Every structure is written in structure tokens, then in C-alpha cells.
Chain A
Amino acid sequence: MATTATPRTADAAAGSLTTARRNTATASWVAFKALLLRDLTVLRKQLNEFLPRTLLQPFLLVFVFTYVFPKIGQGVGGGTGPAAESAFATLLVAGVVGITILFQGIQSVALPMVQEFGYTKEIEDRVLAPLPVSLVAAGKVTSGAIQGLIAALLVFPIAAVVPANDVHLQFNWPVVLTLVPLACITSSALGLTFGTRFEPRTVPMMFGVIVIPLTFLGCVYYSWTALGPIKIWGFSWLKWLVLVNPLVYMSEGFRGAFTTADHMSLAVVYLALAGFAALFLYLGINGFKNRVLS
């Protein structure tokens, strides 16, 4: 049957609140925006949860490594003294923003979705909104990315101000304005992929086996180039191994975006993050469709 037929949506006697059926593109766009509005409304209602879960971990990271350690004379980042401490704080600020964005993808997309698929089934109703199922998933990625962006904006000043020694900031605005959103989308898409593949039962494993290794091996506390000396038979194995970790490109890219620290080539960073974003979107949206449709 042709879709060009435009039968009435409303039932005969039911009035005329929503009248003629709208074409799919218009209806999808309207529904997509409304889904985002719903997510942001929930975010606003749950700010008292969002703020501590977003701020506390980065704050503690920065506080312990760049405030407490220098104050008690414990060296980190390969040296003691204000210059080394300042260099480390500079290194860490980018990593902390990266880790914040990555965690936001897990917390704002993956964990709620695991619950909705596992217990509450709420998602089943949103999937009945008049837009393609893949766009419902894309909406989740978008709202997760927006939350990542908000989190990054909140955390950045903390990471820049808390350290006991100066943080050397240098903003490359075109890079900041493109790389931060790209990192947010990548993380949010990763959250979608996880959210559609883990069961409530296996969430602790997701953290223990995937998220924690990602953060420890994500060049958050050290720069990628510094891994060179870690060798077996003359091969810098760790330096190459961590390249499978998307967080590496966020941390390194942010070093280039807003600090004076050494960093990986930005071309590589963009290419890798775009690649990861595409991969996770593909896996996540397909995973979502598989969970919703049978």
C-alpha cells in the first residue's frame, strides 16, 4: 500500500487535536527534539544526582594528585618541585576532562539503558514515538553528548584551579570547539553500545573489566609519548597497545586543544575519534534495534 495515502490520524468522533498525518521526516524531527527535551528535563530534575556523580571523581583526582601530593612532598609525574608539579598538573587537566566525558557516556547513556532494557521496560514506550527506531537511539547519543559537554564545562575550571601549582593553559579554539563535541559523541555512542550489550547482572563486570582499564590506560595521568621507554625486546608495546583505547585520543587531543603539553598529532586524534564514533554509533544503533525489535 502506498504511503502517499494520507488517511486521517484522528478517529472520527475524537475531535481534531492532531489532524492530518504529518510526513515521516517532519514527525521524526519533532519527536527527536521532544525526546531530547524529555532527557534534558530529567537531567534538570536530577541535578542533585548529576552534579555529585559528575564532579566528585574528577575533583578527587585533581585534588589528590596535584594538591595533596605536592603539599606533602610526594612526587608524581616523574619529579618534584614546582616546575615538575606544574607540568604534571597541566598534563592531568586534559586527562581529567577526557575521563569526565568518557564517564558521562557510561553514566548518562549506558547505565539508564541497561536498567530500562533489563527491568523497567520504559524504553518500549519511547520506541513507539513516531520516528524510526534508529533515531530514538541517535537521540540517546545526542542527549548523552550534551550531558558530556555540560560535565566537561563544569569540570574544566576545577581541574585548572585546584592544583597547587600553575596549570599552563593555551587555548586552540578551533580545536576545542570541534574536538570536545567529537569526544562527547564518541563517549555517548560507546555508552549506547555498552547499554545495549550489558545486562543489569553484568554491569559490575563492565566497570571492572572495561571501564577501569580504559581509564588507567587512557593516557590520563601520563602522556602517550612518555610510554616509549616501556619496552620488551626493544618494542614499545604499551605505547602501541593503548591505541585501541578511545580515551587516549581524548586525553592527547585535549592536551593539544587547551594546554602547552606535548601531545599526539591532532590529525591522528581526529581520525581515530571519528573512526571510534562511527564504529560505536554503528554497534550501538544496531544493538538498540536488536534489543527493541524482534
Chain B
Amino acid sequence: MPAEAAGTPDSAREEEVIRTEGLTKVFPGGVKAVDNLDLSLRRGEIFGLLGPNGAGKTTTVGMLTSMVIPTEGSAVVGGVDVIAHPALAKQAIGVVPQTNTLDRSLSVEENLYFHGRFFGMSARDAKTEATRLLEKFWLTDRASAEVLELSGGMAQRLMVARAVMHRPAILFLDEPTAGLDPQSRIALWQILHELHAEGQTILLTTHYMEEADQLCNRVAIMDHGRILALDTPGVLKRGVGADTIVTVSADGHLDELAGLLEARVPGVTNAKRVDSTVQLLATGSKGVLPAVVTAAEQGGFTVTDLSLAEPTLETVFINLTGKELRD
């Protein structure tokens, strides 16, 4: 990477774009939103914080972007202590928040132009860069539009363009595709892939496991302010210890059914009730379905639905917390 050419003695450290130690936020009233978080992000990776609403993802991003003041712990972003020097740290970060924070008094192009000026670009550089980004983010024909005229997907793309305009060391996206239609979501994923290919370090939060799986090099699964697991999506999924997930819907006492199936169906390593289904983890999918049906019927249960899937990050989450990701 060109950055290495500078060859400073600190270069190895600088590969670490974010480092937190014991980062904790207790809100007034005693709610511990983030609990003792240790994170390390490497330059160039897409890192996902995956968890349900209320897991502490947004608070974490808030602390890393100087908007939420931690109760305890340390956070270094782009080589700067965010807590001690927030104004300096803000030079290194780009943020796409959950809500539309585009400047409604300015046009699409002016939103980018003034952002560039805030970050010290000359008028000419800001203009040139705004034009380039509008093109890159498919917004050129909307350059002089009011931001309120933009669709949700366009507004989101403009917010990403704005966030990367000053070339931040790290780009934060908080639930970037929540509320977007599927097409806009895929468009945004494509943009994030491109930014990643250009070397942009990205931290995103999401409660969509597909998003974390598709986009992220590494994923931290969060719940109740704590990280429960952290690794590549592949390793996390393999950690489930099964290659097949069987979901069984049936009448009757499901906890009993879970116990029955775990005992009787060959290859099933774990079975538990998840909401109104029973979920089986199995190794090898051959013959599992007939065996499940047979075992259930022998136990006096009527199977109403049956499905087979590979493990997903959802499975990992269920395994860790005993509940589904979606609230």
C-alpha cells in the first residue's frame, strides 16, 4: 500500500485505525448501553457490528465519532484519542448516521461543496470533488435539486458521498440500509464494495445478517452492550459446529420435541426451541429430513413445516443468545 512508503516507525501501529479499551457508556438513569468494549480495526477492512436494536451499536459509533462521551475506557481513532481531542479526531472520520442529516437549505451539490469547505478544501477543490462524487454516486443529474426531492436511496448515497469527501481514515455507517428498498440496498452495497476496493476502512452497524455476511471482512456480534463473538463471517458460521440448519414447525410442546429430535435424529448436534419453531443443528444433510419427520411422528407430534438451510450469522446469533436477531 502506498501508505507504507512513508515508512515511519509507527507504521505498524497506524495499520490499526480504531482501538478501544474498556469502552463503556452508562447513560443517566443507569442504562449500560456499551459495556467494556475492546475493539481493534485494521486499515482497509470492512468491519460490521451486528446485533439487534438496543445492542449498543449506535452508542458505540457515537463514542467513536465524539458525539457520545464515554463513561469509561479509551478510544483511539485514526491515531487520535477521541475523548481527549475530539476536534482533531473529527478530521479522520466520516459519518453516515441513521437519520437523514442532509442540509435542507442547500442543494445536492452544495451539500458536498460546503462539506469540503468545512474540512479545509479550497473552493476549487471542493467544487471539483463534488462534481466527481456526484458522478461516482449516480447523482449528477440531481446536482441542483433540493435534498428534500431525493428518494431515500439517493439521499443515502449523497450522505455516503458527503462522508467520504474529505477522505476520512475511517467511514462509519450506522444502519445504512435500514428502511431502504431492496434495489437501493443493493446499490449501496455496491458502493461500499467499491470504496472497500479503493482501500477505505469502514465500520458499519446493522441488524441485517445478510448485510454483515455479504459486506464485512470481520463481524462483531453484539448484544446488551457486549461483544459476544468476533471473527470473519466464515469462521463464525463454522463455529456453530454444524453445516445444516433444520427448522421444524410442529404442534405441541416444542421444548419436548427439541429434546426428542436431538436424541433420536442421527447427525443432530443441538436442538432448541426458537420462538415457535424448533431449530436443529446437524452435520450432513443427507437423510435428515425424513428422519426428523419420522422421529417427530413417533413421538406424537405433527410436523407442519420443515426447512433446511446452511448456517448463517443469524444461526450464530441464535446460538449465542437463544433469541432471533430481529426484535
- A interface vs B, CB < 8 Å? 1, 3, 5-15, 17-18, 21-24, 26-28, 30-31, 34-35, 37-38, 41-42, 45-46, 120-133, 292-294
Contacts and interface: CB of A to CB of B under 8 A. Distances in A.
B101 A21 contact: no
Contacts of A9: 78, 91-92, 166-169
Contacts of A130: 87-88, 90-91, 118-120
Interface stretch (B104-112, B181-189, B245-253, B314-322): B104-112
A121 B99 contact: yes
Contacts of B117: 30, 34, 37-38
A9 B199 CA distance: 13
A38 B114 contact: yes
Interface stretch (B61-69, B134-142, B212-220, B255-263): B61-69
Nearest to A125: B101
B69 A122 contact: no
B79 A7 contact: yes
B102 interface: yes
Contacts of B87: 24, 27-28, 130-132
Contact of B88 (A24, A41, A45, A121): A24
Q: Chain B: interface residue count, which band?
A: 35 or more
B72 interface: no
Contacts of A41: 106, 110, 114
15 contacts: A1-B76, A3-B81, A8-B6, A9-B92, A12-B4, A17-B167, A22-B120, A27-B119, A34-B114, A38-B106, A120-B104, A125-B102, A128-B95, A129-B119, A130-B119
B125 interface: yes
Q: Chain A: interface secondary structure?
A: loop
A247 B313 CA distance: 63
A293 B67 contact: yes
- A-B complex: 7 closest residue pairs judged by Cβ atoms: A13-B199, A7-B79, A34-B117, A12-B3, A129-B118, A10-B167, A12-B1
B86 interface: yes
Given A17-B167, A294-B67, A46 B105 contact: yes
A3 B92 CA distance: 13
B31 to A, nearest CB: 12
Contacts of B166: 9, 18
B27 A124 contact: no
B75 to A, nearest CB: 10
B129 interface: yes
A37 B110 CA distance: 12
A188 to B, nearest CB: 18
A3 B85 contact: yes
A120 B114 CA distance: 18
Nearest to B126: A34
A126 B169 CA distance: 19
Given A12-B3, A34-B114, A34-B117, 10 more contacts: A8-B6, A9-B78, A10-B167, A12-B43, A12-B44, A15-B167, A28-B87, A37-B114, A38-B114, A41-B110
